[in-house]
Chain A
Amino acid sequence: MMNRRHFLQSFAALPLARVAAPLTLSPTVEVAVAATSSAAGYRKVLVLVELKGGNDGLNTLVPYADPAYYALRPRIAIERDRVIPLTDRAGLHPSLAPLSGFWHANRLAVLQGVGYPQPNLSHFRSIEIWDTASRSNEYLQQGWLTRAFVSRPVPQSFAADGVIVGSAELGPLAGSGTRAIALADTEQFLRRAKLAHPVVVARNPALAHIEKVEADIVHSAAQLAGRVEFATAFPAGAFGKAIGTACQIIANPAGVAAVRVTLSGFDTHANQPAIQARLLGELANGLRSLHDAMVEIDRWNDTLVLTYAEFGRRPQENRNNGTDHGTASVHFAMGGRVTGGLYGAAPDLARLSADGNPAHALDFRDVYATVLDRWWGVDSRAALGGRYAPLPFLA
């Protein structure tokens, strides 16, 4: 394991990690990267990490000083001496040890109690609410990123507005009006993209739409064809592979505004301790490798990582050493420009709703507003359908 001083050095403003393998970026890269300022901040990339199934927030950021926590979870609570303390009340799950360096470097924001009013406990409906940034009783077709990119377009020269890695569900990039690419891995995408041939004859709106999508595919394929040889070793497993693919995509010279990766399996109704320990370990190691790779290509300061999920889990453990569907949960924001610390408020375990869930402390749309207003400099009102207050984890 990297010692702490070395690790902290990697947060220094100057690019220092080009020591590794030589990068095979073409000269045009430098030019493209130099032209950052014009493009509404989209040169700064957002990496969304979906914790699919609904990660248990209470065992992620453990309120280890709260007796109510141990009372609710006699079998699955994280023992006090195993917690990685962040404050005198809250600490991280031991599997998140690879992230503790980010905390000490003040680059890890822990967002507590992220949720929304009138929570829905269905996986499918609740993730739809998150993805479309809708109200609980509202059905929207466009994802929140799609609406942002429609209101403030990403430059056409970018490889794509956004790329979804390892899933076919476009989620925040769903709906028309944006150039979203979904791929399992780049090679497979490039293979399939050969089937697309842009012909522009557009004799009616439907045909025009299809032709535009074909043209977008061909454009993206051309931009994503190059490969960077990272010295960073990405962890084994599907998530580590997806992070590696995401890094390739971010390294493409043309640019991409958003990348979404998914880590699945958080629906821990039974045997939660072992499953969540494994998944959080994958998450932490994956994010560490993302950081290392971004430092290598000098992009860490232009990278914002944000986790999200459909919901958290119920504070009271169930009879199968697991937890059932809950509401508000903990999420992470990290990156070279993030101001670390705890945001929001820990769930009040003494005041749970009738179905045993905590109220939310932060609206997920406040988090989105932070990304739109502060990361990209895009007015969030158009995308979010209202005024939400950015959080101070970005200046």
Chain B
Amino acid sequence: MLLRLATAVLLCLAAASAAGASAPLGYDDARHLLARTGFGPTDAEVRRFAGLTREQAVTQLLRDTRSSAVTPPPLWADDDAALRYPNPQTATVDERRAFRQQQVRQGLELRAWWMTEMLVTSSPLSERMTLFWHNHFVSSQQKVRFARLMYAQNRTLREHALGSFAALLHAASKEPAMLVYLDGAKSRRDQPNENFAREVMELFTLGEGHYSEQDIKEAARAFTGWSVDRDTGRYRYRPFLRDPGVKTVLDRSGRFDGDAVLDIILARPQTAQFIVAKLWREFVSAEPDPEEVARIAQIFRGQDYDIKAALHALLLSNAFWATENRGTLVKSPVELVVGTLRQLEIAPEAAMPFAIVAAGMGQNLFSPPNVRGWPGGIAWINSDTLLARKQFLDRLLRGDGGVPASMRMIATGSAPAPASSGASTSVATDANEAIAASDLDDAKVRARQFALAVDRGLRSVHFDAVRWLARQQGATPTAKMRTAQALLLPLTPPMADAEGDVDARSFVRATLLDPAYQLK
């Protein structure tokens, strides 16, 4: 009887969702909105949004965002001593090693800090957008070296994550991490470095085919003078490095500086289209609809590149809610790890092991593979990363410690890549590379340490499946399982309906190991 009632309620909610834009959100609709814009939502979070209209829900979602982290940063985040490095000419082997170890340690603390923030934040969308911009205005600790610069950049990305894209572009371009990563800090009037000028047009704003090689050369001259103060690690303008001459960029001429070039780029409608298409692939589907992208881009540009305005239009588009687009995007490793812990309401003692776990699945925070960032989508899944995902989920659910996690990942030591287009970074005098000396030698030792940390981290987690399942809505065990399945999976699993006599742990484990759990 109660089961039938629960089913009837779910059917009602499902019917409501089909009714469209003005009708209240059903459970699946609310879940879809939160899964796509945050990390895996809990049942309580879903119910907070179910019943609102789409407009109400999206407005509420965009209202309750944060622009700073709640988690206190690592102690060295504001310490200039964290910027000291050994003199590449005179440093001893021990000094170099000590420096490397310090960067690795700080890099791990930084990853743990961000993972913690993602686990505890009341504004998952802020973290998702910070992650989105991290993968857009890419830089990697692999090349930047200093964790402090990576932290400063992360703070800037979060501050503007849901603000103005124009302000974000200007701020991100002057971030010391960016100036190091794309060689802006090395650029000078007699030898303008084209790395940043190329990527800012190709990857950050216009996209390939919307500028010429000549535009890159000219823009590179305009960006000269943007530099980093070595003692404070902050942006510093150096007038004597600047090329004061006339430049011609995207058909406009003048004695432009870097900011002027960014404004010329922002004046191009293509910039708004490029960003909206990327937001579409992040939130809606793998295949942007050109007409819809053009429509939303116009709103975006018309509202001074207000990112919330773009998201508002995107999240209220029919495509966002379309049934055929649900459960079609692959969760990134960080989404999978953070989302699972949040949905299962597990609060780990330390976040660091989980950052290492995500890295083992191919997403090492603060170290994207190259300037194009993580390719994402189905590229997240190969035989190795899929087994790493399943093994993580299996271990969480078995709760017995089990076999040691296979760990081959690396925090800053040997995984991913720094970058830069072309040969510009291959300079013998690059202090960073010199200090990087035999970094790889330590990688094996580190990999072993990480494997132990992950093992300890996973052993310390206790998930009580019985209590978790009991907290889900539903009058009977079967009804609770249905709710849990609707919460955890974006698509109904092909398996037969859960039976009441299945034990809670086996049920949750089977649900998490369903292929559809990899999707959002």
Q: Which of A141, A188, A210, A266 contacts B386 (CB 8 A)?
A: A210
Residues of A119-133 contacting chain B, CB below 8 A: 119-125, 128
Say which one of A91-99, A177-185, A288-296, A366-374 lies at the interface with B: A177-185
Residues of B within 8 A of A56 (CB): none
Residues of B within 8 A of A324 (CB): 428, 433-434, 437
**B interface, by DSSP: helix, strand, loop or mixed?**
loop
**CB pair B370 A139 closer than 8 Å:** yes
**CB pair B426 A121 closer than 8 Å:** yes
Q: Which of A137, A181, A204, A267 contacts B327 (CB 8 A)?
A: A204
Say which one of B152-160, B376-384, B470-478 lies at the interface with A: B376-384
Residues of B within 8 A of A119 (CB): 423, 426
Chain B: CB-nearest residue to A188: B406
Pair count A-B, CB < 8 A: 181
Chain A: CB-nearest residue to B494: A201
Residues of A within 8 A of B519 (CB): 206-207, 210
Residues of B412-448 contacting chain A, CB below 8 A: 415-423, 425-430, 433-434, 436-441, 443-444
Residues of A within 8 A of B416 (CB): 124
Residues of B within 8 A of A210 (CB): 330, 378, 381, 386, 515, 518-519
Number of B residues near A (Cβ < 8 Å) is 64
Measured CA separation A217–B403 after assembly (Å): 20
Residues of B within 8 A of A137 (CB): 421-423
Measured CA separation A119–B418 after assembly (Å): 15
**CB pair A199 B515 closer than 8 Å:** yes
**CB pair B438 A175 closer than 8 Å:** no
Residues of A within 8 A of B422 (CB): 118, 120, 136-137
Chain B: CB-nearest residue to A137: B422
Residues of B within 8 A of A203 (CB): 327, 491
Chain A: CB-nearest residue to B434: A324
**CB pair B391 A356 closer than 8 Å:** no
Instruction: Judge if A260 is at the interface, Cβ distance under 8 Å.
Output: no
Chain A: interface residue count, which band? 35 or more
Instruction: Judge if B387 is at the interface, Cβ distance under 8 Å.
Output: yes
Measured CA separation A264–B445 after assembly (Å): 12
CB of A273 to closest CB in B, whole Å: 14
**CB pair A209 B381 closer than 8 Å:** yes
Instruction: Judge if A152 is at the interface, Cβ distance under 8 Å.
Output: no
**CB pair A120 B378 closer than 8 Å:** no
Residues of A305-333 contacting chain B, CB below 8 A: 314, 320, 322, 324-325
Residues of B within 8 A of A269 (CB): 437-438
Instruction: Judge if B502 is at the interface, Cβ distance under 8 Å.
Output: no
Instruction: Judge if B513 is at the interface, Cβ distance under 8 Å.
Output: yes
Instruction: Judge if A270 is at the interface, Cβ distance under 8 Å.
Output: yes
Q: 0/1 per residue, B381-423, Cβ < 8 Å to A?
A: 1111011101100100000000100101100000111111111
Q: Which of A174, A199, A209, A324 has the most CB of B within 10 A?
A: A209
Instruction: Judge if A196 is at the interface, Cβ distance under 8 Å.
Output: yes
**CB pair B516 A120 closer than 8 Å:** no
Q: Which of B93, B360, B415, B429 contacts A270 (CB 8 A)?
A: B93
Measured CA separation A216–B422 after assembly (Å): 36
Residues of B within 8 A of A (CB): 93, 142-143, 286, 324, 327-330, 360, 369-372, 375, 377-379, 381-384, 386-388, 390-391, 394, 403, 406, 408-409, 415-423, 425-430, 433-434, 436-441, 443-444, 491, 494, 513, 515-516, 518-519
29 contacts between A and B (CB under 8 A): A53-B441, A118-B426, A120-B426, A121-B427, A122-B143, A122-B418, A122-B426, A125-B425, A128-B369, A136-B423, A137-B421, A141-B375, A168-B408, A176-B378, A176-B379, A179-B383, A196-B386, A204-B324, A210-B378, A210-B381, A210-B518, A217-B387, A267-B439, A268-B438, A269-B437, A320-B437, A322-B437, A324-B434, A355-B429
What are the nearest 5 A-B pairs in CB distance?
Answer: A124-B417, A182-B384, A269-B437, A355-B428, A121-B426
Can you name 10 extra interface pairs (CB under 8 A) apart from A122-B419, A206-B286, A355-B426?
A118-B422, A120-B425, A124-B419, A128-B370, A197-B513, A199-B494, A201-B494, A265-B441, A267-B438, A355-B428
